[in-house]
Chains A and B, each alone.
Chain A
Amino acid sequence: MKFLAGENIAELLERLSSRSEVWAPRELRGSGGTVMFERWRSGDPLDLEHFASISAKDMVLPRTEKLFGFSYAFGGAAVGNPFGTPAEPAAGTPAEPAAGARTAGESIRITAAEPAGNVVLFGARACDAKALDVLDALFGQTEGKGYNDPQYRARRAGLTVITLACLTSDPACFCSSFENGTAEKAGSDLILYPVDGGFLAEAVTPKGESIIESGVNSRDKDDSAREPGDGDPETGEAASGPTLFEESGLEMPVLAVTAMVEGLEGLRQKLAAIFDDLEFWQAETEKCISCGYCTYACPTCHCFNIHDEMRGDREGERLRSWDACMFHLYTQETSGHNPRPTLAHRYRNRINHKFSYYPENQGEILCTGCGRCIRGCPVGLDIRDVLRQAVEASAGPGEGGDR
């Protein structure tokens, strides 16, 4: 395995940033210790010790993203105030507008969103990288029941993930509950294992290999349209300086083992068994205040809203923004009916989506055990306790303890 000296990290990021945006974890100034993935610029400090508060999912699903722009070409009457009170024709009287009116109005022009550029995500953890792999199962599809998200796929294709392996874990971490735990490689292009004086570097994908070989990611700026999983083209460009990666005989460090939730096998059936036990879900969500933090901090939560923003009366954008299944309005229908009217309903859906529905539909658990929802919850709701109690409750009365 190759070795990257700790003092060469800055030079590596420097080289990477000549061709890509680089995002890396650092402490926010004046935040008193809040670490976030931020756009890295030459000279910026890094924090490779602490865990970033919010996941890196906005590398592929920005919190607000333009879907397309639009404009109205005025050929006739103004579009009118779309929120105004209309003058109603008499009820029940079929109104027959003038024939030929079809060409008299305005027309719409739709303009595509700017293509995504290349991004290097440096210092992600295995749980962040795996989350991208989990999201690929839904957003990366090009066929199926309409699943087709070209903007996601373009961002994903332009993204290179350099993961920092975890030698220690935080009390809220629980990735070891899942198959590979801290040794998970899915979603990473290159993994850095901390060792004395630096890092051992393991390439997982051709993108990762090219970084070790040339010290930079070899993807072109204009290569954003490629599909994930496509091979990497050789750019023929020489590395900007001698290689930063040396041969090394150092041994692999021992990875962390986190807290675990036991009994997750067969969880889908267990959750189905307690689906109608609304009292269980009420008890679990008693202290929840429906703030939605867990969904925003989560690396795999991906629900979104779509909304239009106008600039003046003839131009605008259609945007999509992160939404949260914990919000009352998320499923509220115009009639006032809400299929998930209480917190208990909404949290039940959130847990089932992560551990039952998504696994059933996409073959992946929609959780990587990063623990962010636990660390940041303002009322101390711990998803691990909920899972443990769900497992217990599904075993039936008599076996389940107090909850």
Chain B
Amino acid sequence: MTTVPQAGVKATDPLVPEPAKVIKVIAETANIKTFRIAFDEPSLMAAFTFLPGQIGQLGILGAGESTFAISSAPSGRDGIEFSVMKTGVVTSAIHELRAGDPVAVRAPLGCAFPTDDWRGKNIVLVGGGIGMAPLRSLLFYLLDNRGHYGDLTLVYGARTPEDLCYAGNRCDWEERPDLDFTATIDTVCSTWDGCVGLVPSVVEKKAPSPDNSVAVTCGPPIMIRYALESLEKMGFREEQVYTTLERRMKCGIGLCGRCNLGPKYVCTDGPVFSLTELRALPNEL
């Protein structure tokens, strides 16, 4: 067995992850935690850049790796965050991690939201549940570059107040005068005095204008379906609507074959797609 410098292995083989450590664990909901990680190699951490919408493979050597949206701010220099819902074998193992524990990371992978093309436009973000993870990164980016964008609207919903992620950020988002933020839950609840209603209908009530606007939606498939209907009803055209897809993935670099939608691979051609692009692809969601 040949020992190779860690950075050297990565430089030549995208299937080899970088050793990293968990530096912070935030319990978001009963089954969602956000993990902030940092590469063991400080120079890698310093050189790490990504754009909102990009994904990464977070894993535990011995348990396996899974693909997650990077949910932190692209401008953040003190680590990369992944919000993980505990669902299967790998995510259950990840949920056991504590600060200081070693992980293995391959990131960034995939394509980002075309935020440069969106300059000068109003942006409407429509998120549900864990689908807020990539939108959170996008929102951080838009707020960091606030001057380049018009009105910012965020509708974020979950089933119950306890299912809403990012409590640590929501206060700030609510207070910001340059962001129209609505958090909503599905049904009336005694511990909630905010907006109640399904995400698509709340978006319709808020009725952001489609003029010079872009809408980005991510959430459970059923929410995405109705959100797309609502957006179209409100006058958003296909090319104004974006989403980011999830698929079972392994390699993350377009080789292993399973995440394709027709000829496009969600891991490399996506996960971000405009509705125009999606509708041109075989309907195999």
Contacts and interface: CB of A to CB of B under 8 A. Distances in A.
B147 interface: no
Interface stretch (A62-70, A159-167, A171-179): A62-70
Nearest to A151: B13
Interface stretch (B94-102, B135-143, B182-190, B227-235): B94-102
B25 interface: yes
Given A148-B13, A303-B257, A97 B96 contact: no
Q: Range of interface residues on chain A?
A: 35 or more
B145 interface: no
Interface string A68-97: 111010001101101111101111111111
A293 interface: no
A147 B255 contact: yes
Given A360-B263, A361-B263, A306 B102 contact: no
Size bracket, chain B contacts: 35 or more
Contacts of B62: 70, 79, 82, 308, 310, 316
Contacts of A102: 21, 23, 38, 99-100
A112 B4 contact: yes
A318 interface: yes
A91 B29 contact: yes
Contacts of A280: none
Interface string A102-127: 11111111111011000000000000
A138 B255 contact: yes
A109 B6 CA distance: 8
Contacts of A19: none
B262 A110 contact: no
A276 interface: yes
B150 interface: no
Given A102-B100, A110-B6, A302-B257, A92 B27 contact: yes
A77 B221 CA distance: 40
Nearest to A92: B162
A91 B1 contact: no
Given A102-B21, A147-B253, A357 B263 contact: yes
Contacts of A67: 13, 15-16
B195 interface: no
B96 to A, nearest CB: 4
A42 B257 CA distance: 39
Interface string B3-32: 110100100111111010101111111110
B48 to A, nearest CB: 16
Interface in B235-285: 246-248, 250-258, 260, 262-263, 265, 268-269, 282-285
A101 B1 CA distance: 31
Contact of B284 (A91, A139, A345): A345
Interface string B112-125: 00000000000000
A337 B246 CA distance: 11
B203 interface: no
B245 to A, nearest CB: 10
A226 to B, nearest CB: 14
B27 A89 contact: yes
B208 to A, nearest CB: 30
A363 to B, nearest CB: 12
Nearest 10 A/B pairs, CB to CB? A82-B63, A97-B99, A303-B257, A105-B100, A91-B30, A334-B88, A146-B253, A82-B93, A101-B100, A145-B268
20 contacts: A69-B1, A91-B29, A92-B29, A94-B168, A95-B26, A97-B24, A105-B21, A107-B19, A107-B102, A110-B4, A110-B9, A111-B3, A112-B3, A112-B9, A146-B254, A147-B255, A149-B13, A149-B15, A331-B248, A334-B87
